[in-house]
Structure formats: C-alpha cells, structure tokens
C-alpha cells in the first residue's frame, strides 16, 4: 500500500507541475518497471527467460489500461474525487469478480468494507462538485483495470516472474505510443525522473509484493485493504507538501483502518 500511495504522489507531482505529459508518464513508468524487473528476473533465472517470459497478455493489457487511464484522468480531476472514483471502481470490480469466481464475501468482510468505504466517502465527498465526465470515466476505467489485474494476480504463481512478464508485455503495448510521444509529447528531466522512479520502484517492485500477498487474501479483503492508500497518500502529502492534519482526516483514518482490520479478521478457507 505504501508503494501504491507513492505512485499517487509521484504522478500528482509530475502532472500537476506539467513536467511531463500523461501519455509519456505512463509509457516511461511501464518501460522503467519492465527494465528493472526483467533485469532482476534474468539475474535470477538466466537470459533464457526473455525468450518466453512469464505473465500473460490479459494482465498486461489490464496493467497498461490502468496506467494510461490513471495518468490521463488526473489532468481533468482533482485528487480527492479522482481517488474516490478509482477506489470505488477497484472495490466494485474485485467484489463482483470474486463473487463470479465463487469467492463470496463473508458478513464480517462486508461490514469492514462498509465501514472503510463510508469513512473514505466522509473524507472525500463534502464540498466536492460534480466531476468532469470524461475525467471520471477515465478514472473509473483505471479502477476497473486495476481490479482486473489484482483478481488475476490471486491465481498465485511466481510473483516476480508474473509481474516481470506483465510489465514486459505492457511495455511492448506502449512502444508505439512511446514513439509517437517523441514527436508530439513533452517530458522534462524532473518529470521523466519521477516517471522512472514510479515505474522501477513503487510500481515494479511494489507490484511484486502485491502479487505475493494476493493469494492469501479474499477478493473482498484485497479490495478493502486498498482503502488505506488514500490515507497513506494524505500523510505523504503532509510530510512532503506541507499540508496540515485536519480533524476530518484523523477521524476518517481511524475508521478506515478499523474497517480494514475488521475485514482482515474473516477466516480464509484452509486457514487455522
């Protein structure tokens, strides 16, 4: 979750300052993630892994759709409403996907989700106007894509291999866009640096950890625990952007963390 929050802070910093265009940010982010993860995987298993990388095209398409829609949406949405739309879409996708896969949420999981999501709405909704329609659609698309990517990761397997292969395939999808952005896009050195760090560290290595954790969580638990991301991101904004702690943020943080804890108490099949 720290890595996910880091991605939000890095993307906001780069795009709000217009240090890079969103398409270039997404392309560089994915390419950097592919480079670092493929290097680590090749060091562990040998260069032969590049001829037939793990992962799947389905997960790569979901990863690409998430990253591109996320970057494009933040040009049209404020951070608060964008976060709310993103995580609402993630949770809805994962819960519906879990139910379709016969991973039905337990009552305690639904209670925890309700508490956490209600607290997030309390934090973000008051004072917000109607969001930009296209921006909202893009962010909802990003949330759905991330939900699909997370659901696919619950199948298990080698987290490093799967994530490396997914990033490598997503980078191949990004390649034509990258060539186009060399002509029509813009990327300053600071903007590109933030995209590289986001891709290599908070995305690439962070998603390996996420894929490692997913098989031990139900779909509802995995959806609920991600509600901690806006709180972590808000704390990061206070530390690095000199924002102040409000009573609303403190109350919402306690409720969100309590809801996540409640959902995590639900027993998993096979767990003693």
Decide if 209 contacts 70 (C-beta within 8 A): no
Distance CA 148, CA 60 (A): 11
Helices H / strands E in the chain, number of each: 12, 0
Dump pLDDT digits (tens) for 213-262. Answer: 877 777 667 767 777 777 777 777 677 756 566 677 677 767 877 776 77
Integer angstrom CA distances of residue 172 from 34, 64, 96, 159, 203: 10, 10, 30, 20, 17
Distance CA 103, CA 93 (A): 13
State the average pLDDT for the chain.
78
pLDDT at 272: 42
| pLDDT surpasses 50 at 271 | no
246: helix, coil or strand? coil
Query: Quick one: average pLDDT of 141-154?
Result: 87
The pTM score is: 0.78
Distance CA 106, CA 128 (A): 33
20: helix, coil or strand? strand
Dump pLDDT digits (tens) for 86-136. Answer: 777 777 777 777 667 666 667 777 787 788 777 767 766 655 555 677 888
Tokens of 70: 């996320």
Tokens of 265: 């108490």
């Amino acid at each position: 979750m720290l890595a996910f929050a880091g991605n939000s802070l890095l993307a906001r910093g780069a795009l709000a300052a217009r240090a890079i265009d969103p398409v270039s940010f997404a392309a560089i982010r994915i390419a950097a993630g592919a480079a670092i993860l493929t290097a680590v995987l090749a060091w562990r298993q040998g260069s032969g892994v590049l001829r037939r990388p793990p992962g799947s095209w389905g997960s790569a398409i979901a990863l690409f759709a998430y990253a591109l829609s996320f970057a494009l949406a933040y040009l049209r949405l404020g951070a608060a409403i964008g976060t709310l739309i993103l995580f609402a879409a993630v949770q809805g996708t994962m819960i519906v996907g879990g139910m379709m896969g016969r991973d039905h949420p337990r009552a305690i999981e639904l209670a925890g989700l309700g508490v956490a999501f209600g607290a997030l709405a309390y934090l973000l909704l008051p004072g917000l106007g109607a969001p930009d329609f296209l921006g909202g659609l893009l962010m909802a698309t990003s949330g759905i894509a991330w939900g699909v990517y997370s659901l696919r990761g619950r199948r298990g397997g080698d987290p490093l291999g799967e994530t490396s292969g997914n990033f490598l395939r997503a980078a191949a999808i990004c390649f034509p866009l990258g060539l186009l952005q060399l002509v029509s896009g813009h990327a300053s050195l600071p903007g590109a640096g933030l995209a590289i760090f986001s891709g290599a560290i908070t995305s690439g290595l962070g998603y390996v950890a996420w894929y490692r954790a997913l098989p031990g969580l139900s779909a509802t638990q995995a959806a609920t625990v991600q509600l901690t991301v806006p709180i972590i991101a808000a704390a990061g904004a206070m530390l690095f952007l000199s924002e102040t702690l409000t009573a609303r943020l403190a109350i919402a943080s306690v409720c969100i963390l309590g809801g996540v804890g409640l959902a995590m108490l639900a027993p998993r099949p096979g767990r003693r």
